[in-house]
Amino acid sequence: MRVVVLAMAGTLFESEAEEVRLPGEDGEISVMDFHQPFLHRLRKGYILVSSPKKNKAEEKRIPIQDGVARMSGNELTVLAAQSF
């Protein structure tokens, strides 16, 4: 799936991913390819993006203060406030 994480300062992350874990207001959300469409509020925590890299998974951690995540089609877009 395509993942885009945006903040006031600009694009924090943009790439293809195998799985994304989000700090949802009601608990952690795991999102994979072609997940059901949703709009969800996020809390302070880390967005964890798992990308397959030639026989080895690579994980990126993106700290956020809060935000909103939207899944539509096969694209996850996160609008986040970033400050820790």
Q: Tens digits of per-residue pLDDT, 17-46?
A: 999 999 999 999 999 999 999 999 999 999
Give the CATH number of domain 2-77; options: 3.90.70.10, 2.60.15.10, 3.40.1390.10, 3.30.565.10.
2.60.15.10
In angstroms, the CA 16 to CA 28 distance is 20
**Residue 47: CA atoms inside 13 Å, Cβ hemisphere, count?**
30
pTM of the model: 0.89
In angstroms, the CA 24 to CA 70 distance is 12
Over the stretch 40-52, which tens digit does the pLDDT of each residue have? 999 999 999 998 7
